[in-house]
A and B are shown apart, each in its own frame.
Chain A
Amino acid sequence: MLIIPAIDLIDGKCVRLEQGDYSKVKKYDCDPVKVAKKFKKQGTKLIHIIDLAGAKNGKPKNFKKIAQIADETGLDIQTGGGIRTYKQAEKILNYGIRRIILGTSAFINPKMVRSLINTFGADRIIVSVDAKDGIIMTNGWIKKSSQSIEDALNRLRDTGLEIIIFTDVKQDGMLKGININNVKKVLGKGFKVIVAGGVTSTEDIKQLDKLGAYGCIIGKALYEGQVKLASPNNLAKRIIPCLDIKNSRVVKGKKFINLKDAGDPVELAKYYSEMGADELVFLDIMATVENRETLYELVSKISANINIPFTVGGGIKSLEDIRTLLACGADKVSIGSYAVKNPDFIKKAAEQFGSQCLVISIDPKKINNKWKIFIKGGRQNTNIDAIKFATKMAQMGAGELLVNSLDRDGMKTGYDIELLKAICSAVNIPVIASSGAGRKEDFLKVFKNTNVDAALAASLFHYGEIKIPELKQYLLKNNVTIRI
């Protein structure tokens, strides 16, 4: 969902009103260009600028300032306020402003909306549906129209319009949160809906996202620091095939038993790299001393053949083990049981090699409503609280957490969303979701509902049940940031 910071302008300056009341003006950081730059620095791509003086007077009054913001920041801008004629709209759009917002004029003159859409495309025209008690408000929210929301939407549908802004006038500028029942009236009516008015907390944002809103506009709450632009960035969510290695072959079994042979690791690694895997994880499930040399050989071979990052895990017990694996070309090492027994080891390893190469793999299982850490391939309960342990690992210098779930492993019923949510909110390092994926919907769900950075799966990919390119296209289509 888009989170769009708002700038309202009167006389070239930033203001916020309460419930659209022009007598309740609050002025903020005066130069809107500065404010826009600040939003840009926080990662915004798109800002919402309303020419309040224009809205009230029925013709644009602050276009120069808006053009200046566009020129100086290079940001995408959606702007409205006083755009009543085709000519005014044309001028703004031809200037290169991304989208214009029509309010009053759209309801008086739907024909104009249609011809603008025909010329500039539906992606550049927004109609703002501003309502108070279910009735459309116009002329800078001063005038009550005779149209209900329902009537208005029906009339707009014929114009080819795709994007609307729904403003709940009563909530706007009140910092009291959104009125979900009002928002629900406009969702699911065939428009992409951007919600404005009362978006005050991250809870509001989450709720709107869940309801399927296309975006939300944040004004006062942002200026007053109640909401921060949620660490927006372009970092792609990673899809990671995991290859369990035994005697230099790839295996994967249900709940760690009944291992099946699923192929040659080097060939598989190359294949996955070409398919668009973002990273690979190799776990040596034998991890015996005798096995070490073969593992090193294998890692060197993999490193020579692929150039995407890969992690190697299994039986790491010393700084020397880590050093050798990194020297063979591994980018990261994954440490499980040994970190549980020797948390200080992680600190030493982080000091020596840096956090970026340390992935801590944990195997939680729910016992009496608490997640406990298990070791020895899931056979032994340590009674350590998984969330606390995750926090501790982050403090010790872990670079990433690979979170398995003994309740979900091999079950194909989806990732353990609750567990992952709990871990993500406890740490500020990247989290890799593991265990339980069965369908592509499971990947979407874990990315939409939790703050994980990557999702890992094994047999699903090895047996071709899900093809990575198709999975990535599917996620991309559903607005997950994905590298294609």
Chain B
Amino acid sequence: MIQIIDYGAGNIKSVQNALTQLGVSSKIVSSGKELDINCKTIFPGVGAAGSAMQTLKERGFLWKIPKIKAPFLGICLGMQLLMDYSAENNTKCLGIIDGKVRKLQKTVKIPQIGWNKIDQLTPQNLLFKDIPDQSYFYFVNSYFVDADSNSIGSTDYGIVFTSVINKINFYGVQFHPEKSGTIGLKLLNNFCKLC
């Protein structure tokens, strides 16, 4: 069973569909109260950092997410919110992983929309099991994670940024595995199998 955090803006349906395709059951969790800290969690994020943090606070997620002990996967904005700070709306984030979220440079088209490669920095990480290095995943982002450490995968879009991150049980991916075809499903499946 995987719990999916719903804060009212994320495209949770795609994630749920992908899990269904993998034969993994899931439930939607809309408040901190319902959140089980011992249950595997996916946190899909769409929208802006400021309002997302605000809603997380209102729904009682803020203090509880850092307490989660089971594997946790933040997707897109869900990854960015794990960091200390985001330049988007000048937002203080969850601070679970050290680093900042910055805006992409104007030398490239913004938002980044499309399929880009992951350079696996630690290919032995179980999240990458059976996923070839340099595989393509689907990205939609205007901001990126500038991590101090904990980066396990990077991507080149004008600059090289952290696209996959892992600190203890917390994982984050800047791309959308649920929209990245078979290879994306494989990554989600790897996450589901983490103990």
The CA of A303 and the CA of B20, in the complex, are separated in Å by 12
With beta carbons under 8 angstroms apart, the residue of B11, B18, B21, B114 that contacts A453 is: B114
Binds A, one of B53-61, B123-131, B173-181: B173-181
A38 CA to B171 CA, complexed, in Å: 29
* Interface pick from A3-11, A104-112, A323-331: A323-331
B109 lies within 8 A of A308 (CB): no
Partner of B116, one of A233, A355, A357: A233
Per-position binary interface string of chain A over residues 271-311, scored 1 when its CB falls under 8 Å from any chain B CB and 0 otherwise: 00100001000000000000000000000000110011100
Given A273-B181, A326-B11, the answer on whether A307 and B18 have CB atoms closer than 8 Å is yes
A219-258 Cβ-contact flags toward B at 8 Å (1 or 0): 0000000001001111111100000000000000000000
Residue pair B13, A329 in contact (C-beta under 8 Å): yes
In whole angstroms, what is the CA distance A355 to B46 when docked?
Answer: 11
A433 CB–B CB distance under 8 Å: no
Q: Restricting to A325-377, which residues have a CB under 8 Å from any CB of B?
A: 326-329, 331, 353-357
List residues 158-192 of chain B with CB under 8 A from any CB of chain A: 158-160, 176, 178-181, 184-185
Alpha-carbon distance A231/B110, docked complex (angstroms)? 12
Q: How many residues of A contact B (CB 8 A)?
A: 38
Among A26-34, A40-48, A205-213, A412-420, which stretch is in contact with chain B? A40-48
Cβ-closest chain A residue relative to B136: A483
Taking CB as reference atom, which chain A residue is nearest B157? A233
- Select A307's contact among B46, B159, B185, beta carbons within 8 Å: B185
Q: Mark B88-115, 1 if CB is under 8 A from A, else 0.
A: 0000000000000000001111111111
Question: For this complex, into which size category does the number of interface residues on chain B fall?
Answer: 35 or more
- Contact yes or no, A307 B21, CB < 8 A: yes
Q: Identify A354's interface contact among B46, B106, B116, B158, CB under 8 A.
A: B46
Does A136 have its Cβ within 8 Å of any Cβ on chain B? no
In the complex, A177 has a CB within 8 A of chain B = no
B122 in the interface (beta carbon within 8 A): no
Please, which residues of chain A bring their CB within 8 A of the CB of B48? 354
Question: Is B69 at the interface (CB under 8 A from chain A)?
Answer: no
- In the complex, whether A77 has a CB less than 8 A from a CB of chain B is no
Question: Which B residues lie within 8 Å of A43 (CB)?
Answer: 156, 158-160
A304 in contact with B20 given A41-B159, A356-B111 (CB within 8 Å): yes
**In the bound complex, do residue B17 and residue A235 qualify as a contact, i.e. CB atoms below 8 Å apart?**
no
Chain B residues, Cβ within 8 Å of A278? 114-115
Q: Of A304, A307, A428, A430, which one neighbours B179 at CB under 8 angstroms?
A: A307
- Interface centre among B21, B115, B184, by most chain A C-beta atoms within 10 angstroms, is B115
Chain A hits for B139, CB < 8 A: 235
Q: Contact string, B135-159, partner A, CB cutoff 8 A, digits 1/0? A: 0101111100000000000011111
B66 interfacial by beta-carbon distance below 8 Å: no
Which residues of A lie under 8 Å from residue B181 when comparing CB positions? 273, 307-308
Task: Name B107's contact: one of A231, A236, A400, A429 (CB within 8 Å).
Answer: A231
A237 CB, nearest partner CB in chain B, Å: 8
Q: A454 at interface (Cβ–Cβ under 8 A)?
A: yes
In the bound complex, CA of A326 to CA of B140 (Å): 15
With both beta carbons as reference points, the residue of chain A lying nearest to B48 in the complex is identified as: A354
A399 contacts partner chain B, Cβ-Cβ < 8 Å? yes
Least Cβ distance of A394 to chain B in Å? 10
| Complex contact A231–B158 (CB within 8 A) | yes
* Pairwise interchain contact B113-A308, C-beta atoms closer than 8 A: no
Residues A331 and B47 in contact, CB atoms below 8 Å apart: no
A233 touches B156 (CB 8 A): yes
Most buried by A among B142, B156, B184: B156
Which residue of chain A has its CB nearest to the CB of B46?
Answer: A354
Give chain A nearest CB distance to B154 CB in angstroms.
11
What is the minimal beta-carbon distance from B11 to any residue of chain A, in angstroms? 7
**Residue from B47, B106, B108, B138 whose CB has the most chain A CB atoms within 10 Å:** B138
Do B110 and A429 touch (CB < 8 A)?
yes
CB 8 Å contact bits of A435-450 with B (1 = contact, 0 = none): 0000000000000000
By a CB distance below 8 angstroms, the chain B residues around A40 are: 160
In the bound complex, CA of A329 to CA of B47 (Å): 15
Query: Which of B13, B20, B117, B179 lies in contact with A309, CB distance below 8 A?
Result: B179
Contact of A42 among B112, B115, B159 (CB under 8 A): B159
Contact assessment for B14 and A303 in the assembled complex, using a CB-CB cutoff below 8 Å = yes
Residues of A within 8 A of B138 (CB): 308-309
A280 smallest CB distance to B (angstroms): 11
Q: Which of A231, A331, A354 contacts B14 (CB 8 A)?
A: A331
A278 to B11, CA, bound (A): 19
Contacts of B159 in A (CB 8 A): 41-43
A236 (CB) vs chain B CBs: closest residue = B115
Query: Is B140 touching A356 in the complex (CB atoms < 8 A)?
Result: yes
| Known interface pairs A234-B116, A357-B46; 14 further A-B residue pairs with C-beta atoms within 8 A, sorted by A's residue number | A43-B158, A231-B109, A234-B155, A304-B20, A307-B179, A308-B181, A309-B176, A327-B13, A354-B46, A356-B113, A399-B111, A429-B111, A453-B113, A483-B136
**A–B complex contacts, Cβ < 8 Å, 8 sampled:** A43-B156, A234-B156, A235-B114, A236-B114, A273-B181, A307-B178, A307-B185, A430-B113
